[in-house]
Homo-oligomer: A and B are copies of this chain.
Amino acid sequence: MAWLRPCWPRCAALRWRPGGAAWAPQLGKAPGVAPRGPWHPHGGRGLRTASPGLGEVPLTSERYRVRRLPFSRLSPQDVAFFQRLLPGRALTEPAALEPCNVDWLRSVRGSSTLLLKPQTTAEVSQVLRYCSERNLAVNPQGGNTGLVGGSVPVFDEIILSTVLMNRIISFDTVSGILVCQAGCILERLNEYLEQQGFIMPLDLGAKGSCHIGGNVATNAGGLRLLRYGSLRGTVLGLEVVLADGTVLDCLASLRKDNTGYDLKQLFIGSEGTLGVITAVSILCPQKPKAVNLAFLGCQNFSQVLETFTTCRAMLGEILSAYEFMDEKCMELVEKHLKLSCPVRDSHFYVLIETSGSNSTHDEEKLNSFLEQAMTSGLVTDGTVATDDKKIKMLWSLRERITEALTHDGCVYKYDISLPVGKLYDLVTDMRARLGQSAKNVVGYGHLGDGNLHLNITAESYSHSLLDAIEPFVYEWTARYNGSISAEHGLGFKKKQFIQYSKPSEAIFLMQRFKAMLDPKGILNPYKTLPSSS
């Protein structure tokens, strides 16, 4: 087929990995391609990127005018207790605390004066028992790669880092079940598993920095969800320390266990507000032997949807990703990053990945699908890649959209779940609504999961533009029973919008769970749920 050109060789850029090696949240080294744009302190709405110089991130408490809850203040006696408990691992030096007080987006900043680095569950338990008795607030922290301000303190919460809890406890090569401490870095786990013919069931841009405990605490989604499902199914067990120091050992390594309520599920996605995850048991899939990528152009969103149903039927069990992006995304990637798209003149682009156990079979399936998609006119142009380097190049077109957007001005970011048929209507409606007041309104995301990343750029921050976007974007999402946070969570920045996706009965019940498990509210306060008062 003439349209199946070899993957173009011009772009040698690697996949963009926020929080990855070049992107580790080390504030001492400002990354060269950090999110850009001026600061727009405005009451917690949207997820806007910005990149001020070092030391310029305003305190969250001041910017958002949050009232500190009546927790105790850290005393010298408290610090002495923690230094006895964790010798050399209870840090008070500003240089040690600074990177843990500011989030990766550099959008929120706490003022904690104590960083604790326990190595064992028993130490976490002792820390929390003490904090509970003393009424000291605690901010559990993994890799600090979250995007909604959930991973850093708002005031002076003690930072409880899992950075030294990075031990692999066991891996069973028959069952594929991995048990490890919460502070293991996702990419390290994946490397460990690959040596034994397995992979982690999740993959994220932030894999080089994020901790598996944080992934579970935020119910991270990512690139492999279409194929391997969510953490709700792959996490088999958790060890959690409750607010009062009680250790809840539900660290089962079993695929099936129907003995009572599945308590661990409450902690998955609770963003550290109900307990501190200290260890994880997770089911890992076999490492695929063959990976193929197709990058295709469609003329309208209906064709994007129909291409999805066609490829799901024809690729079946080997389909591992179905991503889409609109032509505006591609323009920005080409303009700001000088990447070149091998497929042109399409209104939409889709990226289809297959992962399977037999390269010949997989290529046959892919070619059959592509022929069908071309013959029926669903797809007008495309290219395929089978080797690692070209696959990475094609992926970069999709993965570097976020980066390209940060070069386009002030960015208003939304992470929305919708019924897949309605996914792009929100972009169209938003574009029509904003007209010339926005520079660009773009849509891309994990179509296979019904997850839209809606981004709006403008030359500079405008309060009236924000008012045109919100609450419209949330109301629109709620009208179609969507979720206002598909995979990022609520954290500090989105907690007040929960009612757009959850009924009041559910929010009330969540608040009761919180009150029951953490009656003093010391765990990650000011996050996830609106105040119950």
Q: Which residues of A contact B (CB under 8 A)?
A: 172-175, 197, 218-219, 221, 225, 229-230, 232-234, 246-250, 252-263, 265-266, 268-270, 274, 286, 288-289, 305, 308-309, 312-318, 355-358, 361, 364-365, 417-421, 446, 449-451, 481-490, 494, 498, 501-503, 505-507, 509-510, 512-513, 516, 528-529
- Cβ-defined contact, A261 with B510, below 8 A: yes
Interface pairs (6), CB distance under 8 Å: A254-B417, A254-B419, A256-B486, A257-B417, A258-B488, A260-B528
* A356 touches which of B218, B248, B317, B506 (Cβ 8 Å): B317
The answer for the CA separation of A149 and B224 in the assembled complex, in Å, is 39
The answer for the CA separation of A263 and B270 in the assembled complex, in Å, is 11
- Cβ-defined contact, A419 with B172, below 8 A: yes
- Shortest CB distance A353–B (Å): 13
- Cβ-defined contact, A489 with B258, below 8 A: yes
- Cβ-defined contact, B265 with A232, below 8 A: yes
- Shortest CB distance A485–B (Å): 5
- Cβ-defined contact, B417 with A219, below 8 A: no
- Cβ-defined contact, B274 with A256, below 8 A: no
Residues of chain B lying within 8 A (CB to CB) of residue A274: 261
* A507 touches which of B218, B260, B421 (Cβ 8 Å): B260
Q: A259-B483, A308-B174 are in contact. Are A512 and B506 (CB under 8 A)?
A: no
The answer for the CA separation of A173 and B234 in the assembled complex, in Å, is 25
Residues of chain B lying within 8 A (CB to CB) of residue A507: 260
Residues of chain B lying within 8 A (CB to CB) of residue A229: 229, 233-234
- Cβ-defined contact, A249 with B503, below 8 A: yes
- Cβ-defined contact, A254 with B483, below 8 A: yes
- Which of A175, A308, A356 has the most chain B CB atoms closer than 10 A to its own CB? A175
- Shortest CB distance A356–B (Å): 6
- Cβ-defined contact, A262 with B269, below 8 A: yes
- Cβ-defined contact, B315 with A258, below 8 A: no
* A258 touches which of B218, B305, B446 (Cβ 8 Å): B218
- Cβ-defined contact, B316 with A255, below 8 A: no
Residues of chain B lying within 8 A (CB to CB) of residue A308: 174
- Cβ-defined contact, A255 with B451, below 8 A: yes
Q: A358-B361, A361-B361, A506-B250 are in contact. Are A175 and B450 (CB under 8 A)?
A: yes
Q: A172-B420, A483-B254, A486-B254 are in contact. Are A357 and B509 (CB under 8 A)?
A: no
Further contacts, 5 of them, CB under 8 A, given A254-B450, A254-B483: A221-B256, A250-B506, A253-B419, A255-B450, A317-B355
- Shortest CB distance A67–B (Å): 22
Residues of chain B lying within 8 A (CB to CB) of residue A488: 258
Residues of chain B lying within 8 A (CB to CB) of residue A265: 232, 262, 265-266, 268
- Cβ-defined contact, B256 with A225, below 8 A: yes
- Shortest CB distance A502–B (Å): 6
- Shortest CB distance A437–B (Å): 28
Residues of chain B lying within 8 A (CB to CB) of residue A449: 255-256
The answer for the CA separation of A253 and B487 in the assembled complex, in Å, is 15
The answer for the CA separation of A265 and B449 in the assembled complex, in Å, is 20
* A516 touches which of B248, B312, B487, B516 (Cβ 8 Å): B516
Residues of chain B lying within 8 A (CB to CB) of residue A268: 262, 265
Q: A219-B258, A256-B483, A258-B487 are in contact. Are A315 and B417 (CB under 8 A)?
A: no
Q: Chain B residue with minimal CB distance to A250?
A: B506
Q: A174-B420, A229-B229 are in contact. Are A487 and B256 (CB under 8 A)?
A: yes
Q: Chain B residue with minimal CB distance to A283?
A: B229
The answer for the CA separation of A82 and B494 in the assembled complex, in Å, is 44
* A498 touches which of B248, B259, B481, B484 (Cβ 8 Å): B259
The answer for the CA separation of A248 and B481 in the assembled complex, in Å, is 15
Q: Chain B residue with minimal CB distance to A446?
A: B256
The answer for the CA separation of A481 and B249 in the assembled complex, in Å, is 11
